Structure 1
Amino acid sequence: MSDFDFTTLDGRSLKTFLAVLEEGSVSKAAARLGVTQSAVSHLLDKLRLVLGDPLFVRAGRGIAPTERALALREPIQAVLDGLKALTDKRPFDPLIGRMQFTVAANDFQRDLIFPRLIQRLRNDAIDISFRFMPSGNPSSELLREARCQLLITPFPPEGADIFQQRLFDDEMACFYDGSVRSAPTTSEAFNAAEYIEVLFDDQQSNQRLLAQREAGLARVSVPNFSALPAFLRGSAMICALPSRMGQVNLQGFASAPLPFASPTLTMYLCWHRRDHQDPANQWLRQQIVAQFHD
């Protein structure tokens, strides 16, 4: 039996264990936590000693968790949640300390929400930093594996551990270069036009927002919304996107209502249960929502 003093374990050790378990890699866990690989290895050795289990073993070029490590995931997460709860009741002051957030959002949501928000927070002398990552057509694993703290998407992932809040509703519109062409006025004209679509890296297209567009190959597919202007400008191509796109990525382009019925787009803010009571996360969610509900 180990005579290791279990009271020397701390939240950092447990958080490191979960990061390695979720990333499946010491190096990736170190990058996520912002520490060195040797620091991660040291904390894992500490846990191996007190728990009497190797926790992770070599598997090909990577590592694999032992059965004991897999069984510890939920208990350790519960311990970390309990530690966090000890501070949840303290008054939260965004002017004290530095905050860091990773947000998953495609370039439309990112550019619509955050430049103005970040400028306002900077003017208020709030020390906060953001890392943005593309969300594509997101899965719940983005939040469950703590790859981000917030997710902004019109397609919120499902799960009892995933929370969501509506940000805004928007209508789909047809965008085009008004110096080259006019808007299609019938669904037949729309379907006959050369079309440009956004096809994310996960091969999910924004076409799922359109109810009546005929299936077929687009003239051009691009991986993000920011790529659209260079292809639309000076061409007869069209695209169908949320009307608020005209405030950011497609400023200066003409737009018109679609010539057929299409579902209203609703944008959601999503987060994981582990962050639901976190004061900083709660505060940032309020800042984001306030931009659309004031």
Structure 2
Amino acid sequence: MTKSFDPLTIDFRALEVLISVYRHNSFTRAAEDLEINQSVVSYTIEKLRGVFSDPLFAREGRSLIATARCEEAVTEAIDLVQRFSQLTAAQDFDPKESAGTITIACNYYERVLIIPRVVHAIQKQAPNLKIEIVDSSYLGHDRLLRMEADLLIGPFQKLGAAFYGRKLYDDRYVCVMDSEHPFAETTLTLDQYLPLDHIYITYGGKWKSRYMQVLEQEGHAISIAIKVPSPAGIQTLIAGTNLVATVPERLSREIGKGLRITPCPVPTPIDIQLVWTTRTLNSPMHKWVRDLIVQQCRLL
């Protein structure tokens, strides 16, 4: 039987342990994340079990499954930690002197186009500021809510009152093909475009490009020759073939060198957004980083 504990003995460190175990589904990975001994994690979770009168986590095979009570506790714990962090945040931020860590969630497009500029500018203006880049995939908003990221960059919307957002810029889709492709010198019509041998970028199968959404809504379908999880390396697939890839125009400038780039006949705008939560809303350091990202994107 779990020993009961006085709730008032629980501190923010205990809540961080709970959040980390929930986030990683592992006592071991939580200990590594927080740089503490696993025995401390085990003791803390046992103490929290007594506070909430609930097992919090249960094992199913090799998986660690959170209980409904744990889900509720983690939601409240994240909110408490966020609000306390906001309350205790330094009111002055000197880029040259301040230290801290900024975690940005994004995908391949942003890592190629935006992140290098942002990293170089931060290293120049705030040399003690550390940067961590994590994959957002289709879970970017969850990463913000779970405190796994401070900022989300990409073609994402705010998705409700829990999020704040700022538009960075517009992009559009283009077609990338070999310079000897039969349609290389043609402005493609939709009827010409659909039956081409397409490289379809699946983005892990969890996110669908805007142009594909529009095509499906209008009852059209492309002829898919190859599926790939990301745009990385598609230029080598295209070279010397009749394959065609549909990618954002700004990205095509980086990965389409030596290839033919022509407008996509599916006119679909792409809004690249910067998204964050209340946790970092009023932090001077995060405000500074957000403004820096906006400034760097204006130079693209």
Q: TM-score range by the shorter chain?
A: 0.7 to 0.9
Share of identical aligned residues, percent?
23
Go from structure 1 to structure 2 and tell me whether the alpha carbon gap of 1:34 and 1:262 turns closer, same or farther (over 3 Å shift): farther
1:46-97 alpha-carbon deviations (Å, 9 max, x no partner): 5456x26355343323444456544433443343234213323520223335
Q: Partner residue of 1:219?
A: 225
* Offset at residue 210 of structure 1 (A): 5.1
Match of 1:189 among 192, 195, 205: 192
3-state SS in 1 of match to 2:233: helix
CA distance 1:82–1:130, shift in 2 (3 Å): closer
Residue 132 in structure 1 maps to residue 133 in structure 2: yes
Distance 1:52 1:192 in 2: 59
Report the CA distance shift for 1:113/1:231 in structure 2 as closer, same or farther (over 3 A).
Answer: same
Gaps of 5+ in 1: none
How far apart, CA to CA, are the structure 2 residues paired with 1:65 and 1:213?
42
In structure 2, distance between residues paired with 1:203 and 1:74: 24
Listed one character per residue, the Cα deviations across residues 254-286 of structure 1 (whole Å, up to 9, x for unaligned) are 21222x341211111112332323333322222
TM-score (norm 2): 0.82
TM-score, normalized by length of structure 1?
A: 0.83
Is 1:176 matched up with 2:177?
yes
Match of residue 146 from structure 1: 147
What is residue 122 of structure 2 aligned with on the other side?
Answer: 121
Q: Which stretch of the first structure deviates more once superposed, 110-119 or 267-276? A: 267-276
Residue 274 of structure 2 is aligned to residue 269 of structure 1: yes
Check whether the contact 1:198–1:224 (CA below 8 A) recurs between aligned residues: yes
Quick check: 2:199–2:244 contact (8 Å CA) kept in 1?
Answer: yes
Separation in structure 2 between the aligned mates of residue 57 and residue 6 of structure 1, nearest angstrom:
22
Aligned length: 291
Aligned to 1:204: 207
- Residue 241 of structure 1: SS of its match in structure 2? strand
Preserved CA contact (<8 Å) 2:57 2:66: yes
Matches within 5 A, 1:243-282: 243-258=249-264, 260-282=265-287
Residue 60 of structure 1 aligns with which residue? Answer: 60
- Report deviation, 1:226: 1.2
Comparing 245-254 with 67-76, which one deviates more in the overlay? 67-76
Q: CA contact under 8 A between 1:138 and 1:157: conserved in structure 2? A: no
Change in Cα spacing, 1:55 to 1:162, as seen in structure 2 (3 Å) is farther
